[in-house]
Amino acid sequence: MSGGPTDLVLFVAERMYAMRRKRKISRTAFARAAGVHHGHMGHLESGLAAPTIDTLESIGAALGVRASDLLNTRQSDEERVYELLRKHPELVTVAREKTERKLALQSSGA
């Protein structure tokens, strides 16, 4: 890619990386499942290489999503919640405490 990666290539690279990490898949296992050489997968995830349509389809299959999901700039509700909780882990504690209080009230008959 002459002139450096485009915004779309960087977006797809970040999305692939985030989806892989969310699923706790190693890069080696991910590359193998997608049928892509480990080194090339590193270039794809860092935005140093642009995937072909065929490669996007293989990567999507390895992640359990459609190739179009890798290009979709709209985050799903699940992705927004995941990102919010990653940035603000204290929210997990707050939600847990509220749930425990609610369960305690329900079990006491209040």
Asked whether residue 53 falls in the same domain as residue 96, the answer is no
pTM (predicted TM-score)? 0.64
**Residue 45: which of 75, 79, 80, 10 has the closest Cα?**
10
Q: What are the CA-CA distances from residue 107 to residues 68, 93, 95 (Å)? A: 46, 21, 18
Asked whether residue 79 falls in the same domain as residue 101, the answer is yes
Domain count, the chain: 2
Q: What are the CA-CA distances from residue 33 to residues 4, 13, 63, 85, 110 (Å)? A: 28, 17, 9, 28, 52
Buried b (16+ CB within 10 A) or exposed e, 80-92: eeeeeeeeeeeee
Asked whether residue 68 falls in the same domain as residue 79, the answer is no
Asked whether residue 27 falls in the same domain as residue 49, the answer is yes
pLDDT score of 76: 66
What tens digit of pLDDT does each residue of 48-77 get? 999 999 999 999 999 999 998 898 877 666
Using CA atoms, how far apart are residues 12 and 71, in angstroms rounded to an integer? 6
CB atoms within 10 A of CB 73: 7
What tens digit of pLDDT does each residue of 14-30 get? 999 999 998 999 999 99
Asked whether residue 11 falls in the same domain as residue 45, the answer is yes
Give the domain extent around 80.
75-110
